[in-house]
Amino acid sequence: MKNIFVINGGKKFAHSGGKFNQTIVDVDTDFFTTKNGFNLKITDINQPYNLTEEIEKFIWADVIIYHFPAWWMGMPYALKEYFDKVLTAGHQKGLYRSDGRKAENPAINYGTGGLLKGKTYMVTTTWNAPETAFTLPDEFFKETSVDDGILFGFHRMNAFLALEPLKSIHFHDVEKNNGNEQVQTHMTNYLTHLKSIFK
How do the domains of the chain map onto residue ranges? 2-198
Helices then strands, each counted (H, E), the chain: 6, 6
For residue 98, give Cα distances in angstroms to 1, 56, 103, 189: 31, 18, 12, 39
* Topology of domain 2-198, CATH: Rossmann fold (3.40.50)
pLDDT tens-digit readout, 103-150: 999 999 999 999 999 999 999 999 999 999 999 999 999 999 999 999
DSSP H/E element including 186: helix 180-198
Predicted TM-score (pTM) of this structure: 0.96
Q: How many CA atoms lie within 13 A of 74 on its CB side?
A: 7
Q: In tens digits, what is the pLDDT along the chain, a chain of 199 residues?
A: 999 999 999 987 776 777 899 999 999 999 999 999 999 999 999 999 999 999 999 999 999 999 999 999 999 999 999 999 999 999 999 999 999 999 999 999 999 999 999 999 999 999 999 999 999 999 999 999 999 999 999 999 999 999 999 999 999 998 876 778 899 999 999 999 999 999 8
Q: Could you count the other beta carbons within 10 Å of the beta carbon of residue 166?
A: 16
Q: What is the pLDDT of residue 77?
A: 95
Q: What is the pLDDT of residue 138?
A: 95
